[in-house]
Every structure is written in structure tokens, then in C-alpha cells.
Amino acid sequence: MSEIDSNPFADPEAANPFADPSVQQARGGQQTGTGAVDDYNPFAEGNQTRPTAGQTIPPPQPAQTQPAIMQPSNEPPPYSESSAQRVDTADLQKRQEELEKKAAELQRKEQEMRNMQYNERANNWPPLPKFCPVGPCFYQDFSVDIPMEFQRTVKFVYYLWLFYVIVLFLNIWASLAYFIADSDGGATFGMSIVWFVLFTPCSFICWYRPLYKAFRSDSSFNFFVFFFIFFFQFICTIIQCLGVTGYTVGWINSLSTIGKSTGAGAFMLFISLFFSICAVLMIVMLLKVHKIYRSTGASFDKAKQEFSTGVMKNETVQGVAANAAQGAVKGMASQYGSNNKY
């Protein structure tokens, strides 16, 4: 039997590890403990853990648990109505009335803007009194017609025109003083009246109003008109301030007259200085307006298109063109009839 239980593949010369005396001693010490375990029968009669007949083991009950609720450490303070929340009925009524007044004011201003935009606006310049038989000829309102960013420029050009008109008026008196001091100043005095009468309305119509219209409607054509005429105005002002001819009061005539009459020469020098200031301001504004014009994207092609569109929409031009066309048709018809006779 021992031969059958032996391992046929074991090495016969290998030592048996369980044959070691220390292992045998340890194994002998465990015999007592293992015997008690081997003899224990959990199903014996005297076992207390064995259930008795008819006794059932209840199923395990699930643990009764509750969700965790965070309890506040401190109670919130009691609610109290602040003074900012106490709104009186009278205060609400007052605010409602103010809002209604503002809404009515805005509606009135909007209606005025619509009326000024779509209806014909009454002329208000020049500001003449009501008893005057001649009424205003132009409408001018910077806050309505001119955009906010260009109002300062247009107003400055308007004040420059006023300053130029005042200088032309003072030039009459300086020319009169020159005529009194020197008999050769008669032509200068006569031309000073012509400059004032002619240049005052022409300068307003020919270069100030085109500038006003250019900024009002972003018109390239009016910009070109302003540049062309305002440049010649600058040249005329240079001639007036220098006095290169006998028809203007300038630096040359003033310096030649101051030896004959100190008062007349000094007065003429002041007028020459004013003309020089006008010339400097004109060239400055010419360059500034040209810079604004280049920044707006206007061009000469756009100016030509505006001019052609404006000419074709003009009723006078349309009437002249229609009459010319009718005359040409009638002439061709009469010529064709005379040729048929022969």
C-alpha cells in the first residue's frame, strides 16, 4: 500500500521535508488542538446554536435609517421692512406724473422734428425784424441740420464769414482815411464800397452756403464748389492784405501813408492786420475741411453723379430740355415736308 501511495516521479535520493525533527515536534504539538476541532459536531444534541424543532429563524430586518438633514446652527434674523421699502402712495403718484410729463415732452419734440423734416421749414436768416418789408432768405439751424461732430467746424466758418464782412466794413473807413490823407486814395475808397457790397452776399452764397449744404446732406458736389470758390476767396484776401494795387488797403499802402498821416496810416495798418488774420484762418479752414472731406469717402465721381442727378431733377432744366426737344422735332418735320415737295 505504501508503494502505491508513494510518488513514482519523486527522486528516491531526495530527503523528505516532513522527516525533519523540528517539523515532527511542531506537528505533535498541534495534535491536541486539532483533535478538539475534529470532534466538534455542530448538529449534536447539546449544541446550543442548533435551532429546535418548530423554531424558525426570522429574516434579517433592514436598518431603519433617515436622510441626513443639516440643522442650521443659528436661526435667521426676523424680517423687518427697511425704510427704502416704505414707498408712499403720494411719492408713486408724483413719479408717475413726472414720467408722463417727460413722455409728452419727448413726443412733442419728435413731432417737431418730423414737421421740420417733411414740411417746408420757414426761413430764419438773416434775422430781420418783422416790420422789415424783406423777409429772411435762408434757413439755418446748426443743431438740426449739421451732425454733432461737424457743428463746430461749420460754426467756425460762419464766424469767419462774419469777421470778413466786418473787416470789409472797416476797410471802407480806412480807405476814406487814406483818401483824406492822400488824394490818390479816391479809387481805393470807391473800390472798398464795391468790395463790401459785392463780397458780402457773394461770399455767403458762393462758399459758406455750399459748405453748410455739404455737411448737411454729405454732398460731394457742394464740397467741390466750396473748395473752388473758397480758394479764390483766399487769393483775393491775400491781395487785399498786401495792397499791391491802388484799389485795396494793405501793408504797402499803409506803410507809404504812415509818413504823410500817422493816424490814417495806423488805421490802415490795423485793417491790413485783420485781412492777414482772415487769410491765415481761411487757409487753415480750407485744409481742415479738405481733411474731413477725404475722411468721409467722397470723390469727384460722386460729385459728378450728384450734379447730373440734380440737374435732371430740376424742373427748369427739364422744361428747357423739353422745349429744345420739341423745337428740334418740329424743325426736322418741317425740313422733311419741304424735301417731299420737291
Per residue, the 3-state secondary structure of 63-75, as one string, reads CCCCCCCCCCCCC
* pLDDT bracket for residue 317 (50, 70, 90): very low
The chain-wide mean pLDDT, for the chain, equals 76
The per-residue pLDDT for range 9-68, each reduced to its tens digit, is: 655 555 566 666 666 666 665 554 444 555 556 555 555 555 555 555 566 555 555 555
DSSP structure string for 244-305:
-STTS--HHHHHHHTTT-HHHHHHHHHHHHHHHHHHHHHHHHHHHHHHHHHHTT--HHHHHH
Region 286-301 average pLDDT: 79
8-state DSSP, 139: -
What does the alpha-carbon distance between residue 188 and residue 256 come to, in Å, rounded to a whole number? 14
What does the alpha-carbon distance between residue 175 and residue 181 come to, in Å, rounded to a whole number? 10
Residue in this structure with the C-alpha cell 441740420, named with its chain if needed? 145
Q: Does the pLDDT of residue 289 top 90, yes or no?
A: yes
What does the alpha-carbon distance between residue 75 and residue 52 come to, in Å, rounded to a whole number? 58
Give residue 189's pLDDT.
92
Region 243-265 average pLDDT: 85
DSSP structure string for 62-117:
PP------PPPSSPPPPP---STT---HHHHHHHHHHHHHHHHHHHHHHHHHHHHH
What does the alpha-carbon distance between residue 325 and residue 80 come to, in Å, rounded to a whole number? 91
What does the alpha-carbon distance between residue 256 and residue 249 come to, in Å, rounded to a whole number? 11
Region 302-306 average pLDDT: 60
Give residue 176's pLDDT.
93
Residue 125 sits at φ, ψ, to 5 deg, of -135, 140
Which of 67-76, 174-183, 218-227, 316-325 shows the lowest mean pLDDT across its residues? Answer: 316-325
Give residue 335's pLDDT.
59
Q: Does the pLDDT of residue 301 top 90, yes or no?
A: no
Give residue 49's pLDDT.
53
Give residue 260's pLDDT.
85
Give residue 164's pLDDT.
96
Give residue 92's pLDDT.
83
* pLDDT bracket for residue 110 (50, 70, 90): confident
Percent above pLDDT 90 for the chain: 31
Q: Could you give the 3-state DSSP secondary structure of residue 42?
A: coil
What does the alpha-carbon distance between residue 6 and residue 41 come to, in Å, rounded to a whole number? 33
Q: Which three cell numbers stand for residue 310?
A: 440734380
Give residue 126's pLDDT.
87
Q: Does the pLDDT of residue 318 top 70, yes or no?
A: no
